Structure 1
Amino acid sequence: MVDRARGAPHSRSSDPRRADSPAAGRPRAPEHRIAQLQRQVGNRVVTEYVRALNVQRVKEGDGPTNDIGIIQQQLNHVGASPRLAITGRFDAATTTATKAFQKKLIAEGVAGVTEDGIVDGITHTQLKTRAPSVVISATETVVDGPGATQVPSNPAAGTHAQLQVGAKGVAVKELQERLNNSGVAGAKLLVDGIFGPKTDAGLKTFQGTIPVAATGIADPATWTKLETAGAASQGHVEFDWLEEVEGVKNVGLRAGYDWKLSKTALAITLGITFHKKHKNVDTRIGQWLADIKEIWSTFKAVNDSDPKKKSMDLNFEAKRGPGHDVDVFQFDPKLPKKDRGQSRSDSGTWYTVDKRRSMAPHEFGHLIGLADEYNRIEEHYLQVTGEEPAVGNTAGLAADATKLAGDIKAQLPLTDKIAAPAATDDPGWGTSLAAVITPKLGTKQGGFSRFVAQEYGKANAGASVYTDIQKAFSDKGVTGFQANLSACVTPFLYSNKSLMGTMETTPAKGGGGKAAPAHEHPIEPRHIQPFVDLLAREWAMQTGKADKWRPERR
């Protein structure tokens, strides 16, 4: 590593360049070359130069360090197979992946590369060029792709409601607009949001041209054709989505929202019917709605194909009215009085005792179809975020990891003695296992926990410590969010503090990029991408231009 030189200021009276200086006449001390550069070209240029000189040289056996973790992220990005665990330890698998990358460089004719499994010089430069690390929400990572923040659980069902005679609302207006703009012969429909005989006849005519059965029912197959047959300025989206989080499977709901595209903005709106289960909650509901609007409406869509970089605002809003149902309590009545401050909201139940201004914006994100990015298995994490898992905490002794892996196995299946009859999701299950894991790992995710998982796999024929723990709880009837299950699986999962946000980290408050506590998530451009894609699709149909649009903070 190269340390940055720090020059000390000289007083006027001791400047050896002055004839009246006491130091005049003495031999001048040689000036440090870094200091010379600083004087000649400035600190900023020199800083970049020093960083460029700061070349890694790491090999098998080195670590654990954050730098090696970043290298493992980079090797995954350039094609390591199988994927490397981001442990921060330069192990045999990292050597193999490095050699494979060096072999590829040699085949491409990159000069000066040796297939030796050591990351330094040209190998390191090529990794940084092909897989640059970036900082997202105060976390350094390598981005593999755009992510998939909206993932319908049944893609074949599409993202539209099935409509037929008698239906009303924005979805019907979208249907009427698309039929009018499809070019199918027939009288123009009145865009009134009422599915009557004329809309029925127009839809049957369109279905006959696709062709599909002319049923007069706007089903997924019909909607697929409608979306490319005619433009619309408004519409409705709805779909089911599921996720696995904190060891619990099949978590999710039905997302739904209306959209409207004008010449200057895309508006995303949804209705919420608040069912007030406690008194004195109206003020908090008003604050929730204001928070949602403030934190979400901080992006715009920029047209990169336009020389003037035309942009449109992206405006999000939740309103009181039909759409989603949310029960509102002051606190969770099932909790003891001393624990009521810990009431945990979800998409369908909001507690006024939860003072975090991030709560309502976070749950709003779920209502528009966005999944969590915390405590997920690696496959789901990569799918949703498009990012390499953070390096996280790497410190720890190898011997401790091996012992902990053995201690975990000794507690599986769960060894707790629960008095009969044991209730489903009994809070006692997993107490002994948590007593083994929590003192050593706490809730820290990252390099050392992944190393423990590696050691567990080595000792147990490649088994997954997460899968084995999750199954052990499931075998005891624990299928929901239970404290010991969460404590035991959390270190072996992956989290990104980048979803649906704290007011402290919202760009509107000037805090974009600020580190956020666990489960406190700022919005990032990828969360807005599905709505930019919607805008781009309709723009192309309206203008005939397949322009490229991207999300950007206002």
Structure 2
Amino acid sequence: MRIPDERALEPGGGHRAAPARSRSGGLTDQVVGLQRSAGNAAVVQLIRENRSVQRDPTGTVDDTEFQKNVSAGDWSKGIGFLTGLDDTAVVATVSKLKPGDREKLRQAAHSASSARLIRVLDGVAGKSVKVSQGEQVGGNTFGIRGAYSWQITPDSIVVNVGMQFKPDAGVTVPSGAWFGYIRSTWNHYSAVNQADPTQKKQIVFNPYEGAGHVIQVTNGEGRANAGHYYVGDSRAAQSVPHEFGHLIGLEDEYERDAADFQRVTDAPAPATAAPVEQAQAAARGLREALHAKESFFEKHKTAEHRRMGMVNAVLAANNIVPDYQRAENALTHQVAKQYQSLFSVELSADVMAQVDSDDKDISDWREQLVGSFQYTTTSIMGDMSDHSHPVEPRHVRAFAACVQQALGGTWAPSMDH
């Protein structure tokens, strides 16, 4: 059984800073000495550039005065304290506060136009993301609707995804099992600071029951999609995590044309060594069948079925049995390659243009045919067969980018747990 179709048809690490201490030869003497030698402007610039002016050997932050400032509502002084900390220490310190206090500090940072603190505090406060895009899979066009929120914590980036289940009458939703499948499949990556690999943030996906994606739940076994799950789905351990990928905005990686395959996976479509002559002959036969003229008095669906019959005859003559991605092989890939080369159009585009009705029998034939000539990965977003590594770094790259957005530098995903 192939991966279900999940869509709807388109219409902490690092050093922690320490506060200034009044002791002989300590930070106060260093700052005073710097003021005397270079002036106050140099000290202010040093702090703005986040150099190490508030550190001690323990690597911890004494935030007693900061907490007093927060309790007193003195947000300006609170921002002043945070300015002397590095990003990691800011996250650790601010994460201890109540959400309301974090928000007031964030607003104060914006008022003070402190660009560094704005990006860090915005990350701690969290952001909501919506993704909307279309994709062509197996000769049909679908829509992707992703939505989630993310938040930086001292040890992780937490990605919250609300799933609002709408069970049919008498149906009990096995949300605990489904969430377990999602977490066990997806929660194996960290975002790693490329300049200092000891600095990591686990990428934690947190599906929860609540407002967000509306998902109908039905008894029995059916072909799941992003908005409809089945309690009796025997492949739920794969299909539910696959659908979850769409809830965070990922596209399918099955039944894609060569160029689209490379765009989605960052890798070229696999090469094929099948005979070129046979592939060209098949490609010409398919082109002729698809473009069989429609007579003036002929109903369009009648012409479609005639074209379908002619295509089926070409396939049979070349021993090609269409069967979605299961039928992909060296010959079908070579035929698709030669079709594009000969006619400057993808086979899938011609099929969609010449056999375009949405009737289920025609739509199913179209996908079964086109999928046989396209490319599929073995990842969770494709037709998962490699259960040891179903989630690839590309699938979580956006969340490493969120960490980078909040903490600066360059962060990349690494599978490490």
Residue identity matched to 1:351: Y
**C-alpha distance after superposition, 1:230-283 (max 9, x if no partner):** 54314222232222211222x223311122222222221211111012534423
Match of 2:136 in 1: 244
Equivalent residue in structure 1 for 2:207, among 294, 318, 322: 318
Equivalent residue in structure 2 for 1:253, among 139, 144, 153: 144
What SS does the aligned partner of 1:442 have? Answer: coil
Indicate yes or no: 2:233 matched with 1:354. yes
TM-score, L = length of structure 2: 0.63
Task: Output the CA distance in 1 between the equivalents of 2:382 and 2:371.
Answer: 21
Deviation at 1:358, TM superposition (A): 0.5
Task: Output the CA distance in 2 between the equivalents of 1:255 and 1:405.
Answer: 37
Match of 1:445 in 2: 328
Residue identity matched to 2:146: A
TM-score, L = length of structure 1: 0.49
The answer to whether the 8 Å contact 1:457/1:463 transfers is yes
Indicate yes or no: 2:400 matched with 1:552. no
Residue identity matched to 2:347: V
The answer to whether the 8 Å contact 2:219/2:232 transfers is yes
The answer to whether the 8 Å contact 2:253/2:382 transfers is no
Match of 1:263 in 2: 154
Task: Output the CA distance in 1 between the equivalents of 2:373 and 2:260.
Answer: 13
Residue identity matched to 1:466: S
Written as runs of structure 1 = structure 2, the 5 A alignment for 1:317-396 is 317-331=206-220, 341=221, 343-356=222-235, 357-391=237-271, 394-395=273-274
Deviation at 1:398, TM superposition (A): 4.2
The answer to whether the 8 Å contact 1:276/1:329 transfers is yes
The answer to whether the 8 Å contact 1:260/1:268 transfers is yes
The answer to whether the 8 Å contact 1:416/1:431 transfers is no
Deviation at 1:387, TM superposition (A): 0.5
Task: Output the CA distance in 1 between the equivalents of 2:219 and 2:201.
Answer: 39
The answer to whether the 8 Å contact 2:340/2:347 transfers is yes
Match of 1:275 in 2: 166
Residue identity matched to 2:130: E
What SS does the aligned partner of 1:316 have? Answer: strand
Task: Output the CA distance in 2 between the equivalents of 1:496 and 1:503.
Answer: 7
The answer to whether the 8 Å contact 1:415/1:432 transfers is no
Deviation at 1:529, TM superposition (A): 1.2
Deviation at 1:441, TM superposition (A): 5.4
**C-alpha distance after superposition, 1:408-430 (max 9, x if no partner):** 1232236899xx98889x99983
**Alignment gaps of 5+ in structure 1:** 1-176, 184-188, 211-223, 332-340, 513-521, 541-545
Deviation at 1:228, TM superposition (A): 4.4
Residue identity matched to 1:266: I
Residue identity matched to 1:482: S
Match of 1:530 in 2: 398
What SS does the aligned partner of 1:282 have? Answer: coil
Match of 1:47 in 2: none
What's the Cα RMSD here?
A: 4.4
Moved more, 426-435 or 360-369: 426-435
Written as runs of structure 1 = structure 2, the 5 A alignment for 1:142-541 is 191-192=99-100, 228=119, 231-235=122-126, 236-249=128-141, 251-283=142-174, 285-306=175-196, 309-331=198-220, 341=221, 343-356=222-235, 357-391=237-271, 394-395=273-274, 397-413=275-291, 430-437=308-315, 439-440=319-320, 442-443=322-323, 444-445=327-328, 447-456=330-339, 460=343, 462-474=344-356, 476=357, 482-500=363-381, 505-506=386-387, 511-512=388-389, 522-540=390-408
What SS does the aligned partner of 2:170 have? Answer: coil
Compared with structure 1, are the counterparts of its residues 226 and 364 closer, same or farther at alpha carbon in structure 2 (3 Å cutoff)?
farther
Task: Output the CA distance in 1 between the equivalents of 2:241 and 2:364.
Answer: 25
Match of 1:104 in 2: none
Compared with structure 1, are the counterparts of its residues 436 and 455 closer, same or farther at alpha carbon in structure 2 (3 Å cutoff)?
same
Task: Output the CA distance in 1 between the equivalents of 2:200 and 2:112.
Answer: 39
Task: Output the CA distance in 2 between the equivalents of 1:479 and 1:209.
Answer: 57
Compared with structure 1, are the counterparts of its residues 423 and 326 closer, same or farther at alpha carbon in structure 2 (3 Å cutoff)?
farther
The answer to whether the 8 Å contact 1:429/1:484 transfers is no
Residue identity matched to 1:452: V
Deviation at 1:190, TM superposition (A): 8.1
Task: Output the CA distance in 1 between the equivalents of 2:281 and 2:215.
Answer: 47
Task: Output the CA distance in 2 between the equivalents of 1:450 and 1:470.
Answer: 18
What SS does the aligned partner of 2:211 have? Answer: coil
Task: Output the CA distance in 1 between the equivalents of 2:337 and 2:271.
Answer: 15
Task: Output the CA distance in 2 between the equivalents of 1:328 and 1:272.
Answer: 11
Kindly indicate whether structure 1 or structure 2 has the higher relative contact order, using CA contacts under 8 Å at least 6 residues apart: 2
What SS does the aligned partner of 2:285 have? Answer: helix
Deviation at 1:531, TM superposition (A): 0.8
Deviation at 1:535, TM superposition (A): 1.5
Deviation at 1:354, TM superposition (A): 2.1
What SS does the aligned partner of 1:445 have? Answer: coil
Task: Output the CA distance in 2 between the equivalents of 1:327 and 1:435.
Answer: 40
The answer to whether the 8 Å contact 2:151/2:158 transfers is yes
Task: Output the CA distance in 2 between the equivalents of 1:282 and 1:467.
Answer: 40
What SS does the aligned partner of 1:255 have? Answer: strand
Deviation at 1:297, TM superposition (A): 0.9
Residue identity matched to 1:451: Q
Compared with structure 1, are the counterparts of its residues 209 and 301 closer, same or farther at alpha carbon in structure 2 (3 Å cutoff)?
closer
Deviation at 1:538, TM superposition (A): 1.6
**C-alpha distance after superposition, 1:4-30 (max 9, x if no partner):** xxxxxxxxxxxxxxxxxxxxxxxxxxx
Compared with structure 1, are the counterparts of its residues 232 and 304 closer, same or farther at alpha carbon in structure 2 (3 Å cutoff)?
closer
Compared with structure 1, are the counterparts of its residues 405 and 421 closer, same or farther at alpha carbon in structure 2 (3 Å cutoff)?
closer
Residue identity matched to 1:552: M
Task: Output the CA distance in 2 between the equivalents of 1:548 and 1:409.
Answer: 47
Task: Output the CA distance in 2 between the equivalents of 1:525 and 1:306.
Answer: 19
**Alignment gaps of 5+ in structure 2:** 1-74, 83-96
Equivalent residue pairs, number? 319
Written as runs of structure 1 = structure 2, the 5 A alignment for 1:26-45 is none
Compared with structure 1, are the counterparts of its residues 259 and 429 closer, same or farther at alpha carbon in structure 2 (3 Å cutoff)?
farther
Compared with structure 1, are the counterparts of its residues 502 and 300 closer, same or farther at alpha carbon in structure 2 (3 Å cutoff)?
farther
Compared with structure 1, are the counterparts of its residues 354 and 400 closer, same or farther at alpha carbon in structure 2 (3 Å cutoff)?
same
Compared with structure 1, are the counterparts of its residues 441 and 208 closer, same or farther at alpha carbon in structure 2 (3 Å cutoff)?
farther
Deviation at 1:477, TM superposition (A): 5.2
Task: Output the CA distance in 1 between the equivalents of 2:194 and 2:133.
Answer: 31
